[in-house]
Amino acid sequence: MNDKRILLVCRIAPYGNSLARESLETALAAGAMGAKITLLFLDEGIWQLVGQHKPETIGHKNHAAMLSALPLYDIEQVLVDQDSVDKRNIGSAELSEIAELIDGHRVKEIFADHDVVLSF
């Protein structure tokens, strides 16, 4: 497993179901096992990286703690699709500081560069 490059694609908004949280838990577990993990946030998944959420008001835990733990598990590639950000009128300053914006061409390259792709 250590030599496989795993891409976790996060397409789901952070609250309303458990998939967004499960994607981060999967990343942390795989990182703890030494896997080479890349997280790619697309579509509604980019909302996971916006820091102004107050999920406790709707009975959910905040994702910020899990996101801040990613580097501790050697997960350093946290990528965000620029087109998804633009379509939702989100400023880059609103995104988590661990996120790197990439264009659509680079998104295609990221998919091709990985051995395993898991989509949440």
Phi then psi for residue 36, to 5 deg, are -90, 105
Burial class of residue 52 in the structure, from the number of CB atoms within 10 Å of its CB (0-12 exposed, 13-18 middle, 19+ buried): exposed
Spell out the residues 6+ positions from residue 19 whose beta carbon is closer than 8 angstroms to its own. Answer: 12, 120
Phi then psi for residue 51, to 5 deg, are -85, 0
Q: Taking the domains of the chain in order of start, what are their residue ranges?
A: 5-55+73-119
pLDDT higher than 80, residue 97:
yes
Can you tell me the distance from the alpha carbon of 7 to that of 116, in angstroms, rounded to the nearest whole number? 6
The residue ranking higher by pLDDT, 21 or 53, is 21
Q: pLDDT at position 57, please?
A: 45
For residue range 38-89, list pLDDT tens digits in order. 999 999 999 999 875 554 444 556 677 788 899 999 998 999 999 999 999 9
**Contact between residue 1 and residue 116 where contact means Cβ atoms under 8 Å apart:** no
CATH fold group of domain 5-55+73-119: Hypothetical Protein Ychn; Chain: A, (3.40.1260)
